[in-house]
Structure 1
Amino acid sequence: MSVHSTSDDRDKVVTRLHPQLRRELTIRAATVGVAVQDAVTEGILAWRQAAGPLTTVDTARGASFSTYVPSELYRNFRAECSERGIQYTQGLAQSIRLWLDRNPLPQRHRAGAGPRRIALGNQKGGVGKTALSAGIAAALAESGFRVCLVDFDPQGHLTRQLGHAHVPIKGPSLTKAMVGEGGGHDLREILIRIEGPGLADRLHLLPACTDGFLLDAKLVTSREVRVKETALERALAQLEADYDFVVVDCPPSLGYAMDTALYYVRTREGGDGSGIIIPVQAEDSSADAYELLREQIDSLCDDLDVEIADLGFIVNLFDSRKGFVVKSALEGWESIGTPPVLAVVPDLKDQREAVRMKLSLLTHAPDSEQAELMRTIARRIAP
């Protein structure tokens, strides 16, 4: 069907697309910087010019999709679908598939610049830091970046949420590499490829090991670590050449381990976009926790003469039904201005279901509101 739009001589096109195809279109258009309506228009033009029949596209289990295309082009396209003996829905799906094939994900590798290092940190538990780390990392990978997701929390919630076990206590681990007990092991030996539609081979997990509980003590006592703040950087150096982003799910503490994570995401010479994202909730205890974290960041910057960029807050698990307390707290976070609020993520069932299913959010519920917000955050930190 079509609804004529006189404002720009375009018709509103309403059809049904397979969710995966619609998702690919939305993500690809955002990634290459093209409006969805323009991508569909280009696809229709390419479809009309294509010689010979095109491959049939799966249109079963379609979901509602709408956009605008030039009116005359739309009328001619409908007529040509009839002439070719195919349904209009199939013709539009072929057009979108054609545009996707002609506009692959761009080469987004940060050759020579090193990866951008992003920490998600807050010593307050229960703010959803782990889920956000996984969601943002998956969104970055989905848009074409190579991402290493580091489970730096000894509790290992991230590793288990993604359906994997901790690495054996006697084997190689990040902790051993940090304190000089690695025995020559390469951390690439324990990396885990995270599967999911649109991720290809771009998202890897460096899993947790329970020896992480000993990290703070080992950082203080190990002779191998002359400057404890550099331990995480030195351990991850062997991996960095393979990635565009390293996303670190930090421990819920203000100890030495957190110092190493903060130092790792410091701003390098010339600025590299690294920094910390701070997940919070719309409540007073999150504000109190942020003050303590802010003191730790400022103290580390003063002691080591470095800069650590605050990339922004994510107000997570937001539920407006809780009334004045959460709404006024949200206003408080937004009033800070710098760093900005990157997103307000509602408290919905999709993420909890993803954790129960041992899948990433973007795999379990790729079209959910929470998944779209993960993509929004990824675009804000990687424009």
Structure 2
Amino acid sequence: MALFFRKRKGREAGDEQWEDGDGVSRETDGAPRRAVGLESPHDDGDADEGVSELPPVAEPLPRPAKPRVIVVANQKGGVGKTTTAVNIATAMALGGLNVLVVDTDPQGNASTALGVDHSPGTKGTYEVLLDRAGIIEYAQPSPHSPNLHVLPAAIDLSAAELELVNERGREHRMRDAINQYIEESGVDYVFFDCPPSLGLLTLNALVASSEILVPIQTEYYALEGVTQLMRTINRVKGNLNDDLELSTIVLTMYDARTNLSREVAEEVRRHFSAQTLATEIPRSVKIAEAPSYGLPVITYQPKSVGAVAYQAAAVEMASRGAGEPQGS
């Protein structure tokens, strides 16, 4: 059965209160604010423990002039690729945009975080790459938003790279599937969550995308993975995808109280001033806890500083790619 997105109207944001890392309580008017500081393990701006019963309140986000296909990539592991992909995707879906997350990591962490089954044998990314199945056949709706769908990755995907080696047009399998899906679904954003390697799975995502979003951890060696990734981007542009551009950098695990985080942020902005978002994603207990509940922090604790930061990052990204007005 074909799965199509349903438009969802945004709701008015009410007043809410949150605390940033310096422990100071701040009133907000419901609009996202730039997150600062380090979240305390014992006082993180939301007194309730466990899963939040209420979804985050989101303002409607502007729809892009044409669908944006974005690969979330960084060759350095542990920088928050999956966390960034699932939270920005969820925030955009809750803002009324139609979003697809393609899980290309055999571990299936993005599928888990978005509440989608990816047990062995679950059909998804493997069938799209190996059997040329249509994405719309296997994309599952996420329980976090009616506008959010996920193409899951089961453990079977770990064999895909070996099986693709001798296939003709192996680098273009996902691109062909995405182009078909865009025509069928009315999607606004597609996000690829990639493994921390440059095999055929990541290459397929790079060839299928027009933009790259790079999460950069504000710690030592932050730019090393980006330097390697830029070499890969240039090789892909020269041979397989001339449209690929580094469009967005998100600073993650940011601690405004340390010189190191501030210095790394300044260095990244010096090299990539146009691409780096103004919003930094802070180190956050709630961000770290959310996956254990099978949730993105956006729906796990929507008032925590981590959730507010990801909401703000989504607003920035949507504003940069704004095209036709919402609801047109």
Please state which band the TM-score falls in when normalised by the shorter chain.
0.7 to 0.9
The equivalent position to 1:314 in structure 2, one of 208, 227, 250, is 250
C-alpha separation between the residues in 1 aligned to 2:240 and 2:117?
36
Render the CA deviation track for 1:320-378: whole Å, top value 9, x for unaligned: 44x33333222111111344321311001111222121122221111222222222222
Contact 2:62 2:318 survives alignment (8 Å): no
1:341 paired to 2:276? yes
Q: Could you tell me how far 1:276 is from its partner in structure 2?
A: 0.6
Amino acid at match of 2:200: Y
C-alpha separation between the residues in 2 aligned to 1:339 and 1:125?
24
Matching residue of 1:277: 213
1:326 paired to 2:261? yes
1:253 paired to 2:197? yes
TM norm structure 2: 0.74
Q: Could you tell me how far 1:107 is from its partner in structure 2?
A: 8.8
Q: Could you tell me how far 1:106 is from its partner in structure 2?
A: 8.1
Change (3 A) 1:279 1:64: closer
Change (3 A) 1:372 1:277: same
**Aligned CA-pair RMSD:** 2.8
Matching residue of 1:206: 151
Change (3 A) 1:366 1:306: same
C-alpha separation between the residues in 2 aligned to 1:256 and 1:318?
31
More helix by share: 1
Where relative contact order (Cα < 8 A, 6+ residues apart) is larger, the structure is 2
Contact 1:108 1:145 survives alignment (8 Å): yes
Render the CA deviation track for 1:87-109: whole Å, top value 9, x for unaligned: xxxxxxxxxxxxx9xxx958948
Matching residue of 2:231: 295
1:156 paired to 2:104? no
Amino acid at match of 2:140: I
- Structure 1 unaligned blocks of 5 or more: 1-22, 28-35, 37-62, 68-99, 267-274
Matching residue of 1:133: 85
C-alpha separation between the residues in 1 aligned to 2:71 and 2:291?
21
C-alpha separation between the residues in 1 aligned to 2:205 and 2:134?
20
Render the CA deviation track for 1:198-249: whole Å, top value 9, x for unaligned: x3x1011111121221222222212xxx323211112334432311111111
The 5-angstrom pairing of residues 1-383 of structure 1 reads: 24-26=11-13, 105=60, 108=63, 113=66, 115-169=67-121, 172-179=123-130, 181=131, 185-196=133-144, 199=145, 201-222=146-167, 226-240=168-182, 241-242=184-185, 243-266=187-210, 275-304=211-240, 306-321=242-257, 323-342=258-277, 343-383=279-319
TM norm structure 1: 0.64
Of residues 231-240 and 250-259 in structure 1, the stretch that sits farther from structure 2 once superposed is 231-240
Q: Percent identity?
A: 27
Contact 1:312 1:338 survives alignment (8 Å): no
Paired residue total: 270
- Structure 2 unaligned blocks of 5 or more: 1-9, 16-24, 30-56, 320-328
Contact 1:163 1:359 survives alignment (8 Å): yes
Change (3 A) 1:371 1:107: closer
